[in-house]
Amino acid sequence: MPHTVQLRYFAWIRERLGSGEETIELPEGVHTVADLLHWLRKLDDAHAAALADEDTLRVAVDQQHADLQTSISSAREIAFFPPVTGG
């Protein structure tokens, strides 16, 4: 059974993609945040550029901070955002 997930993009990631969100069906073999990033980068040049540097991306899975090895098999929402800096 296909698993649909809502992706949300914030700040410069959203600007580079030209969209703040998209709904996708998780492909076979995509089980972690790292798998998802790898798959998204192959979609097109915009995704490849916006999500290129894993070290500068922060991720939340169902509104909980996550790392690259976090499972997304039952996720409903995955958000990508740049590091938050104080001021």
Structural domain spans, the chain: 4-81
Q: Residue ranges of the alpha helices (H) in the chain?
A: 11-17, 33-41, 45-50
What is the CATH number that goes with domain 4-81?
Answer: 3.10.20.30
Contact by Cβ (8 Å): 4, 21: no
Q: What are phi and psi of 64, to 5 degrees?
A: -120, 130
Residues 25-83: tens digit of each pLDDT:
999 999 999 999 999 999 999 999 999 988 889 999 999 999 999 999 999 999 999 88
Q: Which helix (H) or strand (E) holds 21?
A: strand 21-25
Q: Are 3 and 72 in contact (CB under 8 A)?
A: no
Whether 68 contacts 33, CB under 8 Å = yes
